[in-house]
């Protein structure tokens, strides 16, 4: 049975973490989140690692939260939802603060928490077939846990639009708002990612670590423990709310939620 995510480290010191749930568009649940946290820790603790690449198998980078997981958490207590959301927060924080340069290799669907993973990487290269959405509000939820990282990447103005609109946008638009750095043809994604990796490997490993620290020191919205507690509280409340439950139920049943039907 294949793992939901894999870690490979080559002779050059390039670590690649690959999401491997193509049958559900690499959506993540509590088990995958815990596994990714462990893989990131393994890469971090390996002194040979100089670069980390985050990739996915199949047509999609990540569709965000797994619906079965969301359904389970909608029936869970607020305490359990807080604990669960803190795990997702830990994943984002550990990826965001990975000491070596990180590169996201992006194709296809990138939704919700998948956008958060992209935002936590230092360099993001997208295929021209990629599309993005912060779609949580369509389900009566909000992009709470990922919000500090996404805002740091795209800025407050763009976040104020896409957090509330849930609009789908193209890879070209993602580059225009600084979510990704470069867009290439799907056939060129592997080669472009490798080119970036080779460029990074030509630099001093310790110098890159310190340079990365410098960039993050200037972050206008550092993700403090207090902010993480706030964002996990927001999503826990929304998951357990009547609106959140109605939105998820409507999505699963392919019907319109009541807030649309009433207008």
Q: Please state, for a pLDDT cut of 90, what percent of the chain lies above it.
A: 81
Per DSSP, 212 falls in state H
pTM over 0.75: yes
Which of 36-40, 172-176, 230-234 has the weakest average pLDDT?
A: 230-234
Sign of CA dihedral 59, 88, 208, 158: positive
In tens, the pLDDT along 166-197 reads 999 999 999 999 999 999 999 999 999 999 99
Residue predicted with more confidence, 69 or 133:
133
Percent of the chain with pLDDT over 70: 97
Helix (H, G, I), strand (E, B) or coil at 19: strand
Close Cβ partners of 55 (under 8 Å, ≥ 6 residues apart)? 16, 17, 18, 19, 104, 105, 193
55 pLDDT exceeds 60?
Answer: yes
Is residue 239 within 8 Å of 73, Cβ to Cβ?
yes
pLDDT tops 80 at residue 139: yes
For residues 110-137, one letter each, b for 16 or more C-beta atoms within 10 angstroms of the residue's C-beta and e for the rest, the string is bbbbbbbbbbbbbbbbbbbbbbbbbbbb
Specify the range with the lowest mean pLDDT, choosing from 54-63, 185-194, 232-241.
232-241
Cα-based torsion angle of the residue sequence 27, 179, 88, 40 in order, rounded to the nearest 10 degrees: 90
What per-residue confidence (pLDDT) applies to 73?
81
DSSP summary character for residue 221: S
Nearest C-alpha neighbor of 128 from the set 70, 167, 175, 186:
186
Q: Which CATH class is domain 5-187+205-209?
A: alpha beta
How is the chain split into domains, by residue range? Answer: 5-187+205-209
Q: Strand 14-19's sheet: what is its strand order?
A: 5-9, 14-19, 51-56, 102-106, 123-127, 182-184
Flag whether pLDDT at 11 surpasses 60.
yes
Q: What is the pLDDT of residue 240?
A: 86
Whether 262 shows a pLDDT value over 60: the answer reads: no
What mean pLDDT is predicted for residues 196-218?
95
Answer yes or no: is pLDDT of 221 > 70: no
Give the residue with greater pLDDT, 101 vs 253.
101
* 21: pLDDT strictly greater than 90: yes
pLDDT at residue 1 is higher than 60: no
Assess contact for 148 and 129: CB atoms under 8 A: no
Query: How many Cα atoms are found within 13 Å in the side-chain-facing hemisphere of 163?
Result: 18
C-beta separation of 167 from 133 below 8 A: yes
* Dihedral in degrees, nearest 10, Cα atoms 186, 189, 190, 191: 110
**How many other CB atoms sit within 10 Å of the CB of residue 213?**
11
Q: What is the DSSP letter of 21?
A: -
User: Is the pLDDT assigned to residue 103 strictly greater than 60?
Assistant: yes
- Span 33-46, average pLDDT: 98
């Amino acid at each position: 049975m294949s793992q939901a995510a894999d870690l490979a480290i080559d002779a050059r010191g390039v670590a690649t973490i690959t999401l491997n749930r193509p049958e559900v568009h690499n959506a993540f649940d509590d088990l995958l989140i815990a596994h990714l946290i462990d893989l990131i820790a393994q890469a971090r603790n390996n002194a040979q690692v100089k670069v980390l690449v985050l990739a996915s198998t199949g047509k999609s980078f990540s569709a965000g939260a797994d619906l079965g997981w969301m359904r389970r958490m909608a029936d869970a207590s607020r305490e359990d939802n807080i604990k669960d959301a803190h795990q997702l927060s830990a994943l984002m924080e550990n990826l965001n603060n990975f000491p070596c340069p990180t590169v996201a290799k992006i194709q296809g669907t990138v939704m919700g928490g998948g956008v958060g993973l992209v935002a936590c990487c230092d360099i993001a290269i997208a295929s021209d077939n990629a599309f993005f959405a912060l779609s949580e509000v369509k389900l009566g939820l909000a992009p709470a846990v990922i919000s500090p990282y996404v805002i740091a990447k795209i800025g407050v103005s763009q976040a104020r639009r896409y957090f509330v609109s849930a609009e789908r946008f193209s890879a070209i638009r993602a580059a225009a708002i600084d979510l990704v750095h470069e867009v290439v043809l799907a056939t060129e994604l592997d080669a472009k990612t490798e080119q970036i990796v080779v460029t990074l490997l030509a630099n001093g490993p310790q110098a890159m670590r310190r340079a990365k620290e410098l960039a993050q020191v200037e972050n206008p919205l550092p993700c403090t423990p207090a902010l993480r507690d706030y964002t996990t509280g927001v999503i826990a409340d929304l998951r357990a709310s009547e609106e959140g439950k109605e939105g998820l139920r409507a999505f699963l049943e392919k019907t319109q939620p009541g807030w649309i039907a009433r207008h």
